[in-house]
Amino acid sequence: MNITVEQTMEMPNAVLFARKLDAALKAEHKKREHFYKTVDENRKMEFINGEIVFQSPVKLWHNNAVGNLLQLLRAYVSREGIGFVGFEKILISLTRNDYEPDICFFSSEKSKKFKKKQMQFPAPDFVVEVLSESTERHDRETKFQDYAAHGVGEYWIIDPEREIVEQYILENEDYVLAVKSGDGTIDGAAVSGFQIPIKAIFDEKLNLETLKKIIL
């Protein structure tokens, strides 16, 4: 449950609450500094609500969905020259948490400022998370709220087992479900003009056919 500033101001112990919160956030900040010192580029590590989270190896269907969508998105973005596509080990550092999304896109306006040795990145314009048993709660709850709060304009949640894509568009600081389907086409909002068959994320043959249409 989200607590608003107005609700906090109705609390007679608001000042005491704020002091406790400040102390807790300072302690969490020290743990986050430790995370930055120990983060390993060979392991997928995230810092979520004060805890270092290590991700398990993924199942084949997860790997295939990420790879299929990644090659379509990178080909389109490269063809159009409209930004930068990152995947897996790109560390997104928001105000409290650090994530390594499966796929993310930054517009040219943001990506032109990136340095070659940069290891931490701001909120992207578009994020894709592919569900697994160990990550689903964070993908649907913590990250869902955090990405919206930090202005990520579009968020896809992909279920590789059921072969379904959920597309959320940011409206008035909240995500609104635009598409939830395993069929038909999906049109990118943050990546203007990017349109693919949903099944191309899961089907190798259709993926290649779609890729050819993008690059030819």
Q: In whole numbers, what is the pLDDT of the chain averaged over residues?
A: 94
Global confidence as pTM: 0.89
Q: So what's the pLDDT on residue 2?
A: 66
Average pLDDT of the segment spanning 142-167 = 97
Q: What is the pLDDT of residue 8?
A: 82
Cross-strand bridge partners of residue 164 = 159
In a domain, 31, yes or no: no
Average confidence (pLDDT) over 106-110:
96
Predicted confidence band at 7 (pLDDT cuts at 50, 70, 90)? confident
What angle is formed at CA 194 by the lines to CA 190 and CA 196, rounded to 5 degrees? Answer: 130
Confirm if 91 and 98 have CB atoms less than 8 A apart.
yes
Alpha-carbon distance of 60 to 184, in angstroms, equals: 24
Structural domain span for residue 206: 58-215
What is the residue type of 121? Answer: F
130 domain residue, yes or no: yes
Q: What is the pLDDT of residues 15-61, one digit of tens each?
A: 888 899 889 999 899 999 999 988 877 788 999 999 999 888 899 99
Confirm whether 52 is domain-assigned: no
Dig out the tokens for 106 from the structure: 């930054």
The pLDDT of residue 89 is 87
Domain membership flag for residue 99? yes
Residue in the block written with tokens 């994020």: 127
The pLDDT score that the predictor gives to residue 60 is 97
For residues 157-191, one letter each, b for 16 or more C-beta atoms within 10 angstroms of the residue's C-beta and e for the rest, the string is bbbbeebbbbbbebeeeebeeebeeeeeebebbbb
CATH number of the structural domain spanning residue 162: 3.90.1570.10
Biggest distance spanned by C-alpha atoms of the chain: 65
pLDDT of the residue at 212: 97
Would you give the DSSP letter of residue 102?
S
**What is the mean predicted confidence (pLDDT) over 184-200?**
97
Asked whether residue 171 is assigned to any structural domain, the reply reads yes
Q: How many domains does the chain have?
A: 1
Structural domain contains residue 128: yes
H runs (alpha helix) in 81-196? 108-111, 136-137, 143-149
Residue 77: which of 214, 177, 185, 183 has the closest Cα? 214
pLDDT tier at 142 (50, 70, 90 boundaries)?
very high
Say if 143 falls within a structural domain.
yes
